[in-house]
Every structure is written in C-alpha cells, then in structure tokens.
Amino acid sequence: MEEFQRLAEERERQEAEETWLQREAIAQRQFQIDEAKRRQEQEEVERLQWEQAKERAEREEIQRKQREEEIRRSAKAAAEFDAMMESMNEYLNNPRLENPPSHLLRVMETHPEERPCEFFSRTNFCRYGHACTFNHRRPMLARIILIRHFFNHSMLQGRQPHTEYSSGEEHLELTEQDLRSDYDEFFNDAVEELEKFGTIVNFRTVRNTLEHLRGHVFVEYTNERSALRAFTNLQGRYYASKRLNVEFSNLKTWRGAVCGT
Ligand SMILES: [Zn+2]
C-alpha cells in the first residue's frame, strides 16, 4: 500500500514536470518567434532609413550637377557674348571687312525643335514672348533693325483722346490729318537721327492698334554695318522719355508686319 502510494506520487511528479517542460518549450518557441519578428521589424526600419539616405544623396547629387551645369552654361553664354561683341566691334571698326563675320549672321532660336511661331515670323514680335512654345528665329545681325513702340500716338491707342486735347466749348478731336502731320514730324526727326549711321533704304512704321505691335518701326539699311552702328548707338537710349529697345529683324514682307487690316 505504501509502495503503491509512492509510485502514484512519483507518477504525479513526473506528469507535473512534463507539463512544466511542455509549457517551457512553448514559451521558448514563442520567445523565438517574437524575437525573429522584432529583428525583422528592426531590419525593415534600417532598410527604409538606408533607402531614404540613398535617395537624399542621389537628389543632392542631381542638384549639384544641375548647379554645375548652370554655371557652365552661363559661363559659355558669357564667353559667346564676349566673342560676339568683339566680332561686332571688329566689324564696325574695320572697314576692310566687307562682309560681316559669318558667326554674326547666325540665327538665334528659342525652340529649334519646334515649328516656327507664325506670328513671330510675320511681325518679328509675339505677345507670348519667352513663354511662347513655338520657335522664334531672330537674326544676330541683319540689315533691318526693329525699334519697338518707337512711334507713339494717341490715335493708335484705340480709344478716344483725353479731354486735355479739348479746349473750351470747341471739342477738338484728333483726326487722320493730325496723325499724318504728327507722324511726318516724327519721321523727319527719326530719319535725321537714324541716317547718321548709314543710308536708309526703307523706313516703315506699323500702324496697328494692337498694343504689342503699336508703333513698331522697322529701318532697313543698305548694309549690316550701318544697322549694327544704329543698334549699338541707339540701344538703351531715350527718345521722347522712353527707353529705346532695338533688335535685328528678319522680316520677310512689310505687309506681313501689320496684323489684321
Ligand atoms: Zn510666338
């Protein structure tokens, strides 16, 4: 009986121990799973951090290259500009050079890969300016110069003259006649000045009420040297309290320079 009791206790203890071992094994296993998961999460965080750092480094590298490219490009443009100015000076001051150096006869293009801007080709001016997506082709040097908004007249403003033109009861409206005589005065004035740079073949003013074309004056000289002389002397000078803006023109037809009727 005593022996039986002892065996029963022994079995009970063994069972208890086995249960404990089983629980311990489960706990161990759970710990390993948790640990593996934690490690995986940690690795994921590290991987993301590394990727972000890599992306940042790549971005900075691209920005650095862009800055370098910009500096290179502006240095190149400045060198080209200096070379162009030098050529222009040489051409201006050396009468033995009959024709302009070939690289002054280049055409500058805003979007060489695009089709030409019809408006710019026709009038040498486009209301969209630099924002235009079509190609603006502008000669670096030509026999014709364009002086934007050179002729300024209230008849071209497309609105009624201001009351200061009226006197007393008598309402003086500007007439075609006034425009004509004011234009003649402007013309004589301008031609006298512009002839100082060379012989003028053509002098055309755009009579157009569209603001971006209004009063543009095209002056054609017999040769590029005269046009260049006019350009360098007039650019930035003031006329009738307005700063002159002179550029070279490759206008095909005079009629085309006028928009509409
Ligand atoms: Zn355009």
What's the per-residue H, E or C state across 167-236? Answer: ECCECCCCCHHHHHHHHHHHHHHHHHHHHHHCCEEEEEECCCCCCCCCCCEEEEECCHHHHHHHHHHHCC
22 C-alpha to center of ligand 1: Å?
Answer: 85
130 CB-near residues (< 8 Å, 6+ apart): 110
108 C-alpha to center of ligand 1: Å?
Answer: 14
Predicted confidence at residue 237, as pLDDT, reads 92
Please, what sign has the CA dihedral across residues 110, 112, 117, 120?
A: positive
Tell me the residues surrounding ligand 1 (ion) with CB < 5 Å.
117, 120, 126, 132, 134
177 CB-near residues (< 8 Å, 6+ apart): none
137 C-alpha to center of ligand 1: Å?
Answer: 10
For the whole model, what pTM was predicted?
Answer: 0.67
247 C-alpha to center of ligand 1: Å?
Answer: 16
24 C-alpha to center of ligand 1: Å?
Answer: 83
214 C-alpha to center of ligand 1: Å?
Answer: 17
Total count of residues recorded for the chain: 261
Predicted confidence at residue 261, as pLDDT, reads 38
126 C-alpha to center of ligand 1: Å?
Answer: 5
166 C-alpha to center of ligand 1: Å?
Answer: 40
Predicted confidence at residue 159, as pLDDT, reads 55
Predicted confidence at residue 214, as pLDDT, reads 83
158 C-alpha to center of ligand 1: Å?
Answer: 24
80 C-alpha to center of ligand 1: Å?
Answer: 25
40 C-alpha to center of ligand 1: Å?
Answer: 59
113 C-alpha to center of ligand 1: Å?
Answer: 14
Query: What are the distances in angstroms from CA 179 to CA 96, 173, 183?
Result: 44, 11, 6
The whole-angstrom separation of Cα 203 and Cα 223 is: 14
CATH topology of domain 141-257: Alpha-Beta Plaits (3.30.70)
Side-chain half-sphere CA neighbours of 27 within 13 A: 6
225 C-alpha to center of ligand 1: Å?
Answer: 28
135 C-alpha to center of ligand 1: Å?
Answer: 7
145 C-alpha to center of ligand 1: Å?
Answer: 19
Q: Are 213 and 127 in contact (CB under 8 A)?
A: no
**Both structure tokens of 16:** 């208890």
186 C-alpha to center of ligand 1: Å?
Answer: 30
219 C-alpha to center of ligand 1: Å?
Answer: 22
Q: What is the pLDDT along the chain (261 residues), one digit of tens a residue?
A: 888 999 999 999 999 999 999 999 999 999 999 999 999 999 999 999 999 999 999 999 999 999 999 999 999 989 988 888 888 889 998 888 888 888 788 899 999 999 999 989 988 888 898 899 999 999 999 999 999 989 988 877 765 545 455 444 444 567 888 889 999 999 999 999 999 999 999 999 988 777 778 889 999 999 999 999 999 999 989 988 889 999 999 887 777 766 543
